[in-house]
């Protein structure tokens, strides 16, 4: 499983990134993402701007890393490991996506962040994609003519699209009830990708 940004080996780097990510999350409780500057983040984290740019190119990279870190931490706490085929692991990833989306909306001012929802969506999709791609790359029997990146990108968008549709459906059922339906949609893609014949033009 890919490690999150906060799980790097160097403890100083890890601590700095944790401080920056925590500062961003705290600021997003009271400000829209567009209102938050790098200066605001570094002030809140008590870190200078040069150090910020040693770790992230801009606040958008920090947002992506923050979301990915939170999602990977959730998977780590649930002991989820994906090898490219296991329905149980895929089910856990889908459930984590449901829970993460719910938690992120409950813990921030959604009205303030609405304009930047596409950025948050993309960051969650990227977090799911990294987990899937890493699992597929670790398989020794995956067909060499298929790109794990393409398959994982396809499946991650399918998972998140379905999860988001579930989340915004009024009076939606509990996540545990919708996960089997989403799993039924995405497992055939994974299984087909890992057993496909090369395409001949």
- Return the CATH number at 53: 1.10.10.60
- As given in the structure block, the two tokens for residue 159 are 């998972």
Is 95 in the same domain as 179? Answer: yes
Is 178 in the same domain as 140? Answer: yes
pLDDT reading at 182 higher than 80: yes
pLDDT reading at 2 higher than 50: no
pLDDT reading at 188 higher than 60: yes
Is 46 in the same domain as 135? Answer: no
pLDDT reading at 8 higher than 80: no
41 lies in some domain:
yes
- As given in the structure block, the two tokens for residue 6 are 């906060």
Count of CA atoms in the C-beta half-sphere (13 A) of 65: 22
What pTM was computed for the model? 0.78
Is 72 in the same domain as 146? Answer: yes
103 lies in some domain:
yes
Polymer length in residues for the chain? 201
32 lies in some domain:
yes
201 lies in some domain:
no
pLDDT tens digits for range 145-177: 567 788 889 999 999 999 999 999 999 999 999
Number of domains the chain is built from: 2
pLDDT average, residue stretch 168-187: 93
pLDDT above 90: percentage of residues in the chain:
39
Is 39 in the same domain as 106? Answer: no
Question: b/e for 99-137, b at 16 or more Cβ within 10 A?
Answer: ebbeebeeebeeebbeebeeebbbbbbbbbbbbbbbbbe
Is 77 in the same domain as 54? Answer: no
Is 99 in the same domain as 37? Answer: no
Is 49 in the same domain as 113? Answer: no
CATH number of the domain bearing residue 112: 1.10.357
Quick one: pLDDT at residue 201? 42
3-state secondary structure the chain: CCCCHHHCCCHHHHHHHHHHHHHHHHHCCCCCHHHCCHHHHHHHHCCCHHHHHHHCCCHHHHHHHHHHHHHHHHHHHCCCCCCCCCHHHHHHHHHHHHHHHHHHHHCCCHHHHHHHHHHHHHHHHHHHHHHHHHHHHCCCCCCCCCCHHHHHHHHHHHHHHHHHHHHHCCCCCCHHHHHHHHHHHHHHHHHHHHHCCCCCC
169 lies in some domain:
yes
Is 151 in the same domain as 173? Answer: yes
Range of the domain at 50: 5-58
pLDDT tens digits for range 72-108: 888 888 887 777 667 788 899 999 999 988 887 776 5
Is 54 in the same domain as 146? Answer: no
């Amino acid at each position: 499983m890919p490690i999150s940004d906060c799980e790097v080996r160097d403890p100083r780097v890890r601590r700095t990134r944790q401080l920056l990510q925590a500062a961003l999350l705290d600021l997003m409780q009271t400000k829209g993402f567009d209102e938050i500057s790098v200066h605001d983040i570094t002030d809140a984290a008590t870190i200078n701007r040069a150090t910020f740019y040693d770790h992230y190119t801009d606040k958008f990279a920090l947002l992506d890393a923050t979301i990915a870190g939170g999602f990977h931490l959730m998977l780590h706490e649930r002991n989820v490991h994906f090898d490219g085929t296991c329905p149980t692991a895929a089910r856990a990833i889908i459930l984590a996506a449901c829970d993460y989306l719910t938690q992120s909306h409950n813990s921030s001012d959604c009205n303030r962040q609405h304009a930047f929802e596409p950025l948050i969506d993309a960051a969650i999709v990227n977090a799911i994609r990294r987990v899937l791609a890493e699992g597929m790359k670790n398989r020794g029997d995956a067909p060499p003519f298929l790109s794990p990146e393409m398959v994982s990108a396809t499946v991650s968008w399918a998972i998140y699209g379905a999860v988001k549709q579930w989340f915004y459906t009024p009076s939606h059922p509990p996540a545990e009830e919708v996960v089997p339906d989403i799993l039924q949609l995405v497992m055939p893609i994974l299984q087909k990708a890992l057993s496909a014949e090369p395409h001949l033009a």
